Homo-oligomer: A and B are copies of this chain.
Amino acid sequence: MVMQEPIEFYFDLISPYGYLASTQIEAVAARHGRGVDWRPVLLGVTVMKIMGMKPLLETPLKGAYLYHDAPRVAAMLGVPFRHHGLKNINSVTALRAFVWLKDQDEGLALRFAKRMYERLWVRGEDITAPEAAAAEAEQLGVDAATLMDAVTSPAVKQALHEAVDAAVEKGVFGVPFFIADGEAFWGGDRLPMLDYWLTHHQWEKQ
């Protein structure tokens, strides 16, 4: 049985755990000779509308826990992280830029997503405005004006809509979320379990 499909990695830039997982997933996939297919999700659509939940950091008790948790996970992993303290972060434009770039050059889109994650979760700068996406993409050789036009085009808007719908159709309800060879995994905590699955392709101990 040939199973060399890439690991589907569902991400939203506004999620601190999405950022943390983005620093780990490629190493897990590479141990199994697999690539990673980054796919955008809008937490505002899946979490809040479909599931009827509040944003995590605004949930009583859990919010305080998670605020303390993300930095300690980052420290344990040895990756830079800080809470940005910004309000009303919105990733729609940035993820539109991502799908537009991915349609042209997957590697470029991936480098863009990583820069945007670092912008928000390492440097603490906003990612909401089109200018933010344009500034990061420009560092990768993308023409800023072309990107600014692209993110307002109906075709690109529609492409992001379809990507999010496709994720929800597959049962994706949070970020980070991974799908590998038919199994779904929610949360960066599940990377060891994803690793186990890629090794054994069954759950029962032999």
What CA separation (Å) do A65 and B167 show in the bound complex? 14
* Copies of this protein in the complex: 2
What CA separation (Å) do A174 and B72 show in the bound complex? 19
Chain B residue with Cβ nearest A173: B61
Asked if A65 meets B171 with Cβ closer than 8 Å, knowing A75-B204, A75-B205, the reply is: yes
A62 in contact with B174 (CB, 8 Å): yes
What CA separation (Å) do A71 and B204 show in the bound complex? 10
Q: Residues of A within 8 Å of B, CB-based: how many?
A: 36
Asked if A171 meets B53 with Cβ closer than 8 Å, knowing A76-B193, A76-B196, A187-B189, the reply is: no
**Contact partners of A171 in chain B: CB under 8 A:** 61, 64-65
B62 in contact with A173 (CB, 8 Å): yes
Q: Which of B61, B68, B71 contacts A50 (CB 8 A)?
A: B61
- Minimum CB–CB distance from A189 to chain B (whole Å) comes to 4
What CA separation (Å) do A61 and B172 show in the bound complex? 7
What CA separation (Å) do A146 and B64 show in the bound complex? 42
A192 sits at the interface (CB 8 A)? yes
Which residues, 168 to 188 on A, are CB-close (under 8 Å) to B?
A: 168, 171-174, 183-184, 186-187
A190 sits at the interface (CB 8 A)? yes
Chain B residue with Cβ nearest A202: B75
What CA separation (Å) do A75 and B200 show in the bound complex? 12
**Contact partners of A186 in chain B: CB under 8 A:** 62, 65
12 pairs, CB–CB < 8 Å, chain A vs chain B: A46-B61, A51-B59, A51-B61, A51-B62, A52-B60, A53-B53, A61-B173, A65-B186, A68-B184, A75-B203, A76-B196, A189-B193
